Structure 1
Amino acid sequence: MTVLVFGASSQIGHFLLPRLLASDESVLALSRQPRSVQAGVTWLQGTLPDRVPAVPPLSAIVSFGPLQKLADWLAQASLPDAPRVIATSSMSAETKRDSSVPAERALARQLRDGEAALAAACEWHGCAWTVLRPTLVYGAGLDKSLSPIARRAMRLRLFPLPSGRGLRQPVHADDIAQAVLAALECPAAAGRILPIGGGERLRSGEMFARVRRSLPCATVPLPLPGWLLRLGQRALPPLRGPLSRLDSDLVADNGELQRLLGIHPRPFRPEAAMWQPPR
């Protein structure tokens, strides 16, 4: 089996590549930048959708990048063996659908449009496809949500703790990688969009508190009360969306994931190493 991976240097790709290699798969990985030699992985240099080198017949395509760009490439690619396609979207396709921030509503629409375009391109080729919609992803220090907060707190020795009653369900990137492998082997998952959240739902305030407790150095807690957060929504437009959702539930139903793929993501037990990017 030859698997082509787009976004192999992403946080999910960081965990997927070793798992593919352990399964004796032949791996092609696309990167914008030249990559050092890695046993078992053939790195290709290029970008979606128009700068992808010629590839041999494929048994599977995995993508952690923008769905529309993947769909655009698929529409023009030669895929004689109709490879299985697994891609990630985001639960933001639903949770930001009715956001008060126009840019977030546009993002949700873009994600859903990308999912539809991917499905159409795959069906044109006769490729079975599955889309995974993760919640908040963590685990490799490459995310743009919890890891920057943790690193800033370690640098300043000060940890903001916003109040929030909304539920969160952080999902470890390695659990998503395992779901990708399971989907590759599961015909029943074809043509489905599967939410994937972590194995635990917790209040947003508790999520931040656990991140703080996981840090290797002491930090001073800085509670941010509700009135201050409401003021921040008015004074800082870029933060309006994230702050307004602190009391909203951002979770996923893992029922289909567990029934079809047998994947049971881990609870949220962060460790200090999870906040630093790989070397």
Structure 2
Amino acid sequence: MSGKLIALTGATGFIGRHLLRALSERGYRVRVLLRRPVEVPEGASGAVVGDLARPMNMAAALTGVDAVVHSAGLAHAMSGAPEDDFRNSNTEATRKLADAAQRARVGRFVFLSSIRAQAGSSAPAPLSEADTPEPTDPYGRSKLAAEEALAETGLDWVALRPVLVYGAGVKGNMAALLKLARTPYPLPLASLAGRRSLVSVESLAGAVATALEAPGPLRRPLVVADPDPLTLPEMLAALRAGLGRGPGLLPCPVPLIGLACRATGREAAFDRLSGSLVARAEGLEALGWRPAQASRDGLAALARAGG
């Protein structure tokens, strides 16, 4: 039971909800920073209402705080100007919160960044923190810019770069994959050979705890990924195994799959399906982090639990 006080942003989101529960279970006191007055999430020891874009009350929010875990952010553009949306929500809000944390003499700042700060939707070789970051979209660039803003402060900071995160309540690409696995039909996807790293939300919570507890200073990014990257057919097979079913996968020429995706306006989806994105969590593992479970087991459990 550490008893340390953590200020957590994004506590009502998919990842933030899991972090709140996991940190509370580990003995941390968690003060959640909320954008609007809502019911205090279960597991929080307190709450402060405020807007990170206008952090007038951040001094009060961070009084007595030992560390900040910043999981709030924007994953999808809300207007026709994605660079502005992502810069305001992911970069500038992080910069302002970090400045407030430095004034409050917070001990450590843990930022939930993304593997997209390091690369695009696919990469030709396994990624590690030693690689030069090359984000390819506004989201990834905004996350990298937030990391660079942290590096300009005097804080002891760490930026966690998770790969695709799965777990109860997941949305986006993994939710779509789970929906596909639940269909009763054979799927012509057995020939897709691209491998992708995953990480469960439980393992990500463990990575946050590792970052909080590691001796410092850290002041660097850390990749978060399970060590066993899977192909899309292997992911579907694991999900269907959790549903008590066989894989139900059929071979089909990959160019034909690509043609069908392009014809239906899903070219970006095909790039994600066919490409590889493998990452190695070497820095975290050196600090003692281990994933909570293997990806196959975690996906099967997700499907059994209903997603």
Q: Confirm or deny: 8 A CA contact 1:161 1:208 kept in the other structure.
A: no
Task: Name which of 281, 286, 290 aligns with 1:264.
Answer: 290
Amino acid at match of 2:49: Q
Q: Distance in 1 between matches of 2:241 and 2:56?
A: 43
Alignment match, 1:187 = 215
Alignment match, 1:18 = 21
Q: C-alpha displacement at 1:180, in angstroms?
A: 0.8
Task: Name which of 267, 283, 286 aligns with 1:240.
Answer: 267
Q: C-alpha displacement at 1:78, in angstroms?
A: 6.8
Q: How many equivalent pairs are there?
A: 266
Question: Quick one: structure 1 residues 107 and 22, their matched pair in 2 at CA, closer, same or farther if it must change by over 3 Å?
Answer: closer
- Contiguous gaps of at least 5 residues in structure 1: none
Question: Quick one: structure 1 residues 264 and 204, their matched pair in 2 at CA, closer, same or farther if it must change by over 3 Å?
Answer: same
Deviates more, 1:161-170 or 1:131-140: 161-170
Q: C-alpha displacement at 1:4, in angstroms?
A: 0.5
Q: Distance in 2 between matches of 1:242 and 1:104?
A: 16
Amino acid at match of 1:35: E
Alignment match, 2:82 = none
Task: Name which of 28, 38, 46 aligns with 2:42.
Answer: 38
Q: Confirm or deny: 8 A CA contact 2:232 2:273 kept in the other structure.
A: yes
Q: Distance in 1 between matches of 2:122 and 2:43?
A: 46
Deviates more, 1:34-43 or 1:178-187: 34-43
Task: Name which of 162, 166, 170 aligns with 2:194.
Answer: 166
Alignment match, 1:71 = 95
Q: C-alpha displacement at 1:5, in angstroms?
A: 0.4
Amino acid at match of 2:47: W
Q: CA deviation digits over 1:173-213, x for unaligned, max 9? A: 11111111111121346111111111312222212222233
Identical counterparts, % of pairs: 27
Amino acid at match of 2:42: Q
Q: Confirm or deny: 8 A CA contact 1:138 1:146 kept in the other structure.
A: yes
Q: Confirm or deny: 8 A CA contact 2:181 2:236 kept in the other structure.
A: no
Question: Quick one: structure 1 residues 31 and 76, their matched pair in 2 at CA, closer, same or farther if it must change by over 3 Å?
Answer: closer
Q: Distance in 2 between matches of 1:139 and 1:16?
A: 12
Q: C-alpha displacement at 1:273, in angstroms?
A: 4.5
Q: CA deviation digits over 1:31-59, x for unaligned, max 9? A: 34512563553233344222674312311
Q: CA deviation digits over 1:49-99, x for unaligned, max 9? A: 226743123110001123412223333567322331001111122331889
Amino acid at match of 1:166: G
Secondary structure (helix, strand or coil) at the match of 1:145 reads helix
Q: Distance in 2 between matches of 1:232 and 1:190?
A: 47
Task: Name which of 137, 158, 164 aligns with 2:165.
Answer: 137
Q: Distance in 2 between matches of 1:159 and 1:118?
A: 48
Task: Name which of 52, 61, 64 aligns with 1:48.
Answer: 52
What TM-score comes out, normalization by structure 2 length? 0.74
Q: Confirm or deny: 8 A CA contact 1:183 1:189 kept in the other structure.
A: no
Q: Confirm or deny: 8 A CA contact 1:137 1:143 kept in the other structure.
A: no
Alignment match, 1:117 = 149
Q: Confirm or deny: 8 A CA contact 2:34 2:47 kept in the other structure.
A: yes
Q: Confirm or deny: 8 A CA contact 1:12 1:174 kept in the other structure.
A: no
Alignment match, 2:227 = 199
- Contiguous gaps of at least 5 residues in structure 2: 74-89, 124-134
Alignment match, 1:58 = 65
Task: Name which of 87, 90, 112 aligns with 2:111.
Answer: 87
Q: Distance in 2 between matches of 1:208 and 1:95?
A: 25
Q: Distance in 2 between matches of 1:179 and 1:77?
A: 21
Q: C-alpha displacement at 1:254, in angstroms?
A: 1.7
